[in-house]
Amino acid sequence: MTDALSVERITFAYPGRPLFRDFSLALEDGGFAGLIGPNGSGKTTLLRILTGILRPAFGKVRLFGDEISRLSERSRARRLAVVPQESRILFNFSVMETALMGRFAHLGIMGMETRNDVEVVTRSLRDVGMDGAASRRLNELSSGERQRVLMARALAQEPRVILLDEPTSFLDLKHRLQTYEILSRLNRSRSIAVLIVSHDLNLAARYCRTLWLVQEGRLVASGSPSEVITPEAIRAVYSTEVEIGKDPRTGSPFVIPYLPPEEPGTLGPGPHGR
């Protein structure tokens, strides 16, 4: 299988803080991968490197074999879309206006949307279940609905790869599941490669075919969820006592965490401190 997006032996540091050194990984074309790890492990930084926002000091970032730094913004946007964490609403656009922003890389010299652009956006809204809300304003929507609009905006780019940075951070359980279901369906039906940065280990393990576990800029483990979500790896990276169970429906691993006894506020290891 060819690689959709890859970093090859990159080195990156913030002033006074080295982060990645000789770091490599690759997202397969049509793959569905999750990037997991504790706060400060470099997940969001790596996402920004993958999109070309940040440039490594050494190494290469490739998008379908092309060095991403050599691609124009429009060329990059026709292949790669990014769904950020939901942020504060600065301008109260309508759902349709927001999703149409995803067509910027496809607009002609006059910058005017065509019938085809509107059709693509309408389909993108339908893909995320927001086609009936095209005229509504962003401030009228719930967090889950706004997140789906951001996903529709990304889909309107007609990308081959979608990167998502903690898209379920502010969502309840139902909307978290809906988000992953939508991504899984798009991955299967359109072969869109998906990379999702997630703190939700259990949802990542259920839906992602590949997981990358990072800690302080190091790739600690990679592979299938059952290969990565192990008691030893999770305890070491998160400094937390865990048990690993198995989802009776999917067979995927799931994590049951416990605070160690010396942590303040805990009643001791195990359920209810027993």
Q: Quote the CA–CA distance of 48 and 83 in Å, as a whole number.
A: 12
Higher-pLDDT residue of 1 and 266 is 1
Claim: this prediction has a pTM higher than 0.75: yes
pLDDT of residue 263: 57
Report whether 161 contacts 82 (CB < 8 A). no
Write the CATH number of the domain with boundaries 3-79+159-273. Answer: 3.40.50.300
What confidence score (pLDDT) does residue 274 get? 43
Residue 103 has pLDDT above 80, yes or no: yes
- State the average pLDDT over residues 219-245: 95
Taking the CA atoms of 173, 156, 100 and 45 in sequence, report the sign of the dihedral they define: positive
Domain ranges of the chain: 3-79+159-273, 89-158
pLDDT tens-digit series, residues 9-26: 999 999 988 899 999 999
Helix axes of 115-127 and 143-155: crossing angle, nearest 10 degrees: 140
Find the mean pLDDT for residues 47-61. Answer: 95
Kindly report, residue by residue over 153-187, the tens digit of the pLDDT.
999 999 999 999 998 888 889 989 999 999 999 99
Q: Could you identify the residue written with the tokens 């978290």?
A: 176
DSSP state of 109: T
Provide CB contacts within 8 A for 200, sequence distance 6+: 168, 176
- In the prediction, which pLDDT does 49 show? 96
What is the predicted pLDDT for the residue at 273?
47
Residue 167 has which token pair? 């898209």
